[in-house]
Structure 1
Amino acid sequence: MTEHAHGQGHDHSHAHGVSADADRRWLRGALILLTSYLAIEVVIGVVAQSLALIADAAHMLTDAVSIVLALIAMRLAARPARGGYTYGLKRAEILSAQANGITLLLLSVWLGYEAVQRLITPPAVTGGLVLITALAGVVINLICTWMLSRANRSSLNVEGAYQHILTDLFGFVATAVSGLIVLTTGFRQADAIASLVVVALMLRAGTSLVRESGRIFLEAAPAGVDPDALGDHLCAADQVVEVHDLHIWQITSGQPALSAHILVEPGGDCHKVRRSLQELLSGEYGITHATLQVDHVGEQGAPDDVLTLGPRPGPAPEQQAEHCADAHGPVHRPGPHTH
């Protein structure tokens, strides 16, 4: 008997590094630490009239929100697939990562505007208070950064929260430097310049998160995987004469998936070809969720329960190209020009 015209095969095993429970513990610890310090920093920022401190506090608030979103998304993603959600809610984590990126970008616009205003008309800033508060913030963020580095950063969701806190750490360093400059030289614009440094870091981290989450939502191939090269690699396997309808995407962070239509030579062993290709995908590309439809050349009209035992003549090359009239993407065949 055949497997969906000789071979729809699945392998649903997925490797996971740090456990979700461990991730949640590290995230909760960082959340408690951040929110405790946040309230103190807001009060000091207002008293010292430091935009850099207020910017850091606002960013720290988004850190806390990003961790809350990450925790909610992790719980949703852990729910089993049911009903119309055949992948479950795994992409809730990507929604969270995208929300983190967007908030970073929006906040950077507001802080950038405020920083430029303060460059033009700098207020009096209490440098000593800014310096002490920023140094304390560096310590808090170092601890939080270490906590999140212990979680599974292959998850774009966790990486989003990590990038928030790492950016905040660099921001506190810049704020501490600005406080020292104001204290020792009286150069009040240093506070606004430090704010612009924080803005630049936020723009960089936010753009990266939006771009990576957007790739997943748009079903792009995982970063580092060239679909054309992979298709040629599959086509170079023994007995394979054509690969088309090749799709590679990510269900969520660290869970790539692939589907393809494989044509083998007349009389070839479809089951053996499917197994060897799935081993290749798993071993060399880390793709363990693969669905391969494997057919003999010229057999597309045969009933699903008919197995071709002997060789049969295949179609002419121009007919092979029309095996699927609406094939998506390049058609890969053995030889120097496979697509």
Structure 2
Amino acid sequence: MGHHHAHSGQGHHGHDHGHGAGNEKAVGIAAFLTGGFMLAEVAGGLVAGSLALLADAGHMLTDFGSLLLAWFAFRLARRPADWKRTYGFDRFSVLAAFVNGITLFAIVAWILVEAVRRLLNPPEVSGGLMIWIAVAGLLVNILAFWVLTREESDNLNIRAAALHVMGDLLGSVAAIIASLVIIVTGWMPIDPLLSLLVALLIVRSAYKVVVESGHILLEGSPRDLDSRQIKSELREAIAGVVNIEHLHVWSITQERRMATMEAEFSAEADPAAVKQQIKALMAERFRVGHVTIEIVGRVSENA
């Protein structure tokens, strides 16, 4: 029996280019704000002798990198698919997230080593200078967070960028607390202790980024999908579907889900109509926008 292939009728991306341009601009502004203040924070941390400020600057460096990569991914996603890259460039953002997550671990390792050294031999920290820089950092982060979240967006690049900036907000708050404690009590160990807290926040977000992006790069199924459930629902919900085998579900990005399957239809079924019903159910129920269906058999219901 001949094989039949059916692809979803959707275009390659289905992006809202107007909204994408808005997201690109928001990420670009947030990257400019974060990168500009990061340089000021490094200088201030070195002058004030504050590891909390340097740790927060390290966090801002990774966030600047991730925002820059997110911005570049929006730019790159504009390019159409070609014969070499038939899926286009969407997955660049996932690869960028994976690389960014790995570099976060290196920065955390540096913060941990430096924090231990400073706990064993606490240096003098200028609490007065430190608090001004930390407050300025908090204001910059609030502005960047507002730029990213002023319009509702389901885009994962935007959501991830906003989470990174929220981490910076927490780092600035930690630096403010450390500077206040130093000004009031003169207790220097608070600076490396709070830098350790910032490092733990970085590790937590880095681990999630690496695991999620690695899962996509390894063609893992989206975590909310169970292939057994999909097979069962297709058989039960669509008349004419006798059996579904070799079902593979993966994603190009977290937003672009793909599926292939082999299907056995009843002899009485209209193949074209049943394939359209399968694609409609996959899109509406499981948010899978591109489905390839191969018909491998027709079974008579009276057999």
Superposition TM-score, scaled by structure 2 size: 0.91
- SS of the residue aligned with 1:293? strand
- SS of the residue aligned with 1:212? helix
Alpha-carbon displacement from aligned partner over 1:69-117 (angstroms, at most 9, x marks no partner): 2222222222111122111111111111112212222211111121122
- SS of the residue aligned with 1:282? helix
- SS of the residue aligned with 1:297? strand
Rg comparison, structure with higher value: 1
Q: Which amino acid aligns with 1:239?
A: G
- SS of the residue aligned with 1:252? coil
- SS of the residue aligned with 1:225? coil
- Alpha-carbon distance in structure 1 between the residues aligned to 2:205 and 2:126: 30
**Is this contact kept in 1: 2:240–2:268, CA < 8 A?**
no
Aligned residues: 300
**Is this contact kept in 2: 1:135–1:176, CA < 8 A?**
yes
Question: Which position in structure 2 is the counterpart of 1:282?
Answer: 283
CA deviation after TM superposition for structure 1 residue 196, in Å: 0.6
Matched ranges for 1:126-205 at <5 A: 126-150=126-150, 154-205=154-205
**Is this contact kept in 2: 1:7–1:274, CA < 8 A?**
no
Matched ranges for 1:9-158 at <5 A: 9-13=7-11, 15-16=14-15, 19-150=19-150, 154-158=154-158
Question: Which position in structure 1 is the counterpart of 2:6?
Answer: 8
- SS of the residue aligned with 1:261? strand
- Alpha-carbon distance in structure 2 between the residues aligned to 1:150 and 1:256: 27
Question: Which position in structure 1 is the counterpart of 2:215?
Answer: 215
Alpha-carbon displacement from aligned partner over 1:36-68 (angstroms, at most 9, x marks no partner): 322322222111110111111222222222222
Alpha-carbon displacement from aligned partner over 1:206-253 (angstroms, at most 9, x marks no partner): 111111111111111123122211121112221211100101111123
- SS of the residue aligned with 2:252? strand
For the structure 1 residues 106 and 159, does the alpha-carbon distance in structure 2 shift closer, same or farther, using more than 3 Å as the test?
A: farther
- Alpha-carbon distance in structure 2 between the residues aligned to 1:152 and 1:223: 24
Q: Which amino acid aligns with 1:263?
A: E
**Is this contact kept in 1: 2:266–2:301, CA < 8 A?**
no
**Is this contact kept in 1: 2:178–2:190, CA < 8 A?**
yes
The answer for unaligned runs of 5 or more in structure 1 is: 299-310, 315-339
- Alpha-carbon distance in structure 1 between the residues aligned to 2:152 and 2:222: 18
For the structure 1 residues 171 and 268, does the alpha-carbon distance in structure 2 shift closer, same or farther, using more than 3 Å as the test?
A: same
- SS of the residue aligned with 1:242? strand
**Is this contact kept in 2: 1:81–1:87, CA < 8 A?**
yes
- Alpha-carbon distance in structure 2 between the residues aligned to 1:312 and 1:159: 49
- Alpha-carbon distance in structure 2 between the residues aligned to 1:52 and 1:274: 58
- SS of the residue aligned with 1:12? coil
- Alpha-carbon distance in structure 2 between the residues aligned to 1:131 and 1:263: 68
Richer in helix (by share): 2
- Alpha-carbon distance in structure 2 between the residues aligned to 1:198 and 1:42: 16
1:297 aligns with 2:275: no
CA deviation after TM superposition for structure 1 residue 152, in Å: 7.5
Alpha-carbon displacement from aligned partner over 1:106-132 (angstroms, at most 9, x marks no partner): 211111121122122111111122122
Could you list the runs of 4 or more consecutive aligned residues of structure 1 that deviate by over 6 angstroms after TM superposition? none
Identity %: 34
CA deviation after TM superposition for structure 1 residue 312, in Å: 8.4
- Alpha-carbon distance in structure 2 between the residues aligned to 1:218 and 1:40: 39
- Alpha-carbon distance in structure 1 between the residues aligned to 2:4 and 2:85: 28
- Alpha-carbon distance in structure 2 between the residues aligned to 1:108 and 1:152: 32
Mean Cα deviation higher: 185-194 or 276-285: 276-285
For the structure 1 residues 19 and 79, does the alpha-carbon distance in structure 2 shift closer, same or farther, using more than 3 Å as the test?
A: same
- Alpha-carbon distance in structure 1 between the residues aligned to 2:269 and 2:219: 32
**Is this contact kept in 1: 2:4–2:293, CA < 8 A?**
no
CA deviation after TM superposition for structure 1 residue 258, in Å: 1.0
Mean Cα deviation higher: 226-235 or 254-263: 226-235
The answer for unaligned runs of 5 or more in structure 2 is: none
Q: Which amino acid aligns with 1:12?
A: Q
CA deviation after TM superposition for structure 1 residue 160, in Å: 3.8
**Is this contact kept in 2: 1:154–1:254, CA < 8 A?**
no
**Is this contact kept in 2: 1:6–1:294, CA < 8 A?**
yes
**Is this contact kept in 2: 1:155–1:253, CA < 8 A?**
no
CA deviation after TM superposition for structure 1 residue 313, in Å: 7.2
Alpha-carbon displacement from aligned partner over 1:132-166 (angstroms, at most 9, x marks no partner): 21111111111112222247764444444333322
**Is this contact kept in 2: 1:6–1:271, CA < 8 A?**
no
Mean Cα deviation higher: 76-85 or 241-250: 76-85
